[in-house]
Amino acid sequence: MKTINAVSFLTLTILCGLPTLLAAADTVPDTLFLKEAPAQPGNVAELKKTVKAGDEIVLRGQIGGQKADVFNASRAVVMVADMKLVSCDKIPGDKCETPWDFCCVPVTEKNASVALVQVADEKGRPLKTTLKGVNGLDHLSVVVVKGKVKMNEAGNLLVNATGIYVEPKPVKTEDKK
């Protein structure tokens, strides 16, 4: 039985792929974020019924839609839900720890009301970075997204974003005091 010593293993790792693993993450272009919301945004549920691949659209939604994190940790992809869905934090007395999952909404309604938004490179692949925290993006942030429709393999609405406007968070009355 042959053994590989630590130096040989390290040398093989460097020559055969460690640089790929350590490659720098992509950067989300500053120009993606808009200073004003695009006009006439549609809601996610209605757009899902009418759009087709290649359509240019504007949608307004809130970041959320599932219990697992709606932000991809290594790709510029996020789930956006229709504004008609009520998050658990807006239900008096609800103590849900993940209000962005809309667990109080029937599954069929939720599934019909979510879309994926991605920021892609020139080849249509999502950038190798997360959108979480970029320009204030967080769970339940309200966004207006301009982009081109691309349906994914499962037939879900996927939007290649060309512009994102992040609506300012409303000031709570407790914050004003």
Average pLDDT along the chain: 85
At 1-28, the pLDDT tens digits run: 444 433 333 333 333 444 444 456 899 9
At 31-80, the pLDDT tens digits run: 999 999 999 999 999 999 999 999 999 999 999 999 989 999 999 999 99
Mean pLDDT is lowest, of 30-39, 91-100, 158-167, for: 91-100
Whether 47 contacts 115, CB under 8 Å: yes
Q: Nearest Cα to 87, choosing from 133, 140, 137, 44?
A: 140
The rounded distance, in Å, linking the Cα atoms of 45 and 53 is: 16
At 100-113, the pLDDT tens digits run: 999 989 999 999 99
At 139-162, the pLDDT tens digits run: 999 999 999 998 766 778 999 999
Tokens 């709570």, located at residue = 172
Residue 175 banded pLDDT, cuts 50, 70, 90: low
What are the chain's domains?
25-171 (2.40.50.200)
Question: In the prediction, which pLDDT does 25 show?
Answer: 80
Q: Coil, strand, or helix at residue 167?
A: coil
First to last CA, the chain: 73
